[in-house]
Amino acid sequence: MRLHSSYTSPYVRKVKILAHETGLWDGVKEVYTNPADEEVLRPLNPLGKIPALELEGVGAVFDSRVICEALDRLHRGPPRIPADTTARLMVLRTQALADGLADAANLRRNEALRPDAQIYHPFIDRQDLAIKHALLALNRVAGAWNSDDPPLLDQIATAAALGYIRFRYERLEWRAQCPDLARWEQRFFDRPSALLTEPINPPGRPPPPPQTVPPHWPTE
């Protein structure tokens, strides 16, 4: 399996954590692919996004949700997306929430990195609201997560999104409002699968410029 990957993507990290947790990582060849590389990525994923996984007998699989579904069928341990309908929908719902948190964080960052005069502040405010309410909603489910059980895809997706918030918005103060999520975070990020997949600034590239609109926790 070849995984087209990057150093910072939360969606790539979700796939990588799942592969580590399920013992599949040794069978994955990670290839750092620049999404702007039209020749490599576009034929695999017409959307030009990573992650994309090249899978024998299937071809390229994308996006991260489909890749996780594929990986969950390839290992022999307990499934990380439950078969039972209710449990499955609950896990997939939380995955969608966590992915949406990553989406909002990503969109906000791209907007905030524009030149000052071009930034559309209502768009940033809207993403900040999504970030706040996604974190509060994840806090409501995190209280029931037991760290002794193998993590399901809801926890894995949450770790990937939260890891992105930690990486890009270190100064965002969310933990006091989300104590259950903060407690779970402390335990999950000690797992080897989390430690081995920490995002880093791409080697050899200058660090990203500071954001002109600092992240904030909306009061409304």
Ligand X SMILES: N[C@@H](CCC(=O)N[C@@H](CS)C(=O)NCC(=O)O)C(=O)O
49 binds ligand X (CB under 6 A): yes
In the structure encoding, which two tokens stand for residue 75, read together?
Answer: 């290992």
Distance CA 211, CA 124 (A): 12
> Closer CB to ligand X, residue 63 or residue 180?
63
How far CA 10 is from CA of 82, 83, 184, 186, 220, in Å, comes to 22, 25, 18, 18, 27
> Closer CB to ligand X, residue 7 or residue 189?
7
From candidates 3, 4, 11, 92, binder to ligand X by CB under 6 A: 11
54 binds ligand X (CB under 6 A): no
Sign of CA dihedral 57, 60, 61, 64: positive
> Closer CB to ligand X, residue 22 or residue 106?
106
Number of residues that bind ligand X (CB under 6 A): 12
How far CA 8 is from CA of 26, 147, 199, in Å, comes to 21, 25, 5
63 binds ligand X (CB under 6 A): yes
From candidates 48, 179, 192, 208, binder to ligand X by CB under 6 A: 48
The site map against ligand X for 106-125 (x = CB under 6 A) is x-------------------
50 binds ligand X (CB under 6 A): yes
In this chain, which residue has its C-beta nearest to ligand X? 63
> Closer CB to ligand X, residue 65 or residue 132?
65
Beta-sheet pairing, 52-55 with 29-32 = unpaired
Sign of CA dihedral 98, 103, 109, 111: negative
The site map against ligand X for 20-39 (x = CB under 6 A) is ---------------x----
**Which residues on neighbouring strands pair with residue 53, listed in sequence order?**
3, 61
Shortest CB 48 distance to ligand X, Å:
5
46 binds ligand X (CB under 6 A): no
Distance CA 69, CA 53 (A): 12
Distance CA 22, CA 80 (A): 9
51 binds ligand X (CB under 6 A): yes
Would you tell me which residues interact with ligand X (CB under 6 A)?
9, 11, 35, 48-51, 63-65, 99, 106
